């Protein structure tokens, strides 16, 4: 049963984040991240990955969480969860609800994500 949860969570983590899950044995925090956050929360079909992604982008933007925001924005573009134009609108919405200083982090992360996607598309 635990292997099924881990396997399901690992697949969803790779789908959502674009990176493989760490192998088992990295401790309880990592196990909970893979099995619960990705296997149970992101894996719950009540919301689509895109819907959850929009919620997460809003929260991370409001928190000014640069590293996670950039990663989620990049993967959102790569997966087609949002377009570049929609990403810009998320930033505008964060500015109006969470404040302009917070949105500067989201704006910078969106620029980085869009540049990375453009580079990847040029290469391949």
Q: pLDDT tens across 104-118, in order?
A: 889 999 999 999 899
The phi and psi torsions of 22 (rounded to 5 degrees) equal -65, 150
Q: Domain 49-123's class? A: mainly alpha
Looking at residue 82, the DSSP 8-state letter turns out to be S
Which residues touch 74 (CB under 8 Å, ≥6 apart)? 18, 112, 113, 116, 117
Mean pLDDT, residues 78-98:
95
pLDDT score of 99 more than 80: yes
Share of the chain above pLDDT 70, in %: 98
Cα-Cα end-to-end distance for the chain: 40
Domain with CATH 1.20.1290.10 in the chain: 49-123
pLDDT score of 15 more than 70: yes
Task: Compute the distance between CA of residue 8 and CA of residue 38 in angstroms, rounded to an integer.
Answer: 8
Looking at residue 70, the DSSP 8-state letter turns out to be H
Q: Please name which of 48, 74, 68, 60 lies closest in space to residue 103, comparing C-alpha atoms.
A: 60
Mean pLDDT, residues 66-73:
90
- Give the H/E segment covering residue 38: none
Does the predicted model carry a pTM greater than 0.95? no
Task: Compute the distance between CA of residue 12 and CA of residue 21 in angstroms, rounded to an integer.
Answer: 9
């Amino acid at each position: 049963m635990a292997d099924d949860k881990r396997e399901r969570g690992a697949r969803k983590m790779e789908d959502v984040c674009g990176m493989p899950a760490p192998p088992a044995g990295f401790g309880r925090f990592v196990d909970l991240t893979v099995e619960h956050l990705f296997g149970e929360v992101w894996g719950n079909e009540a919301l689509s990955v895109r819907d959850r992604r929009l919620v997460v982008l809003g929260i991370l933007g409001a928190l000014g969480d640069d590293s996670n925001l950039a990663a989620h924005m990049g993967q959102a573009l790569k997966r087609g969860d949002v377009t570049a134009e929609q990403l810009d609108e998320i930033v505008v919405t964060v500015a109006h609800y969470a404040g302009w200083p917070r949105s500067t982090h989201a704006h910078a992360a969106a620029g980085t994500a869009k540049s990375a996607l453009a580079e990847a598309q040029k290469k391949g």
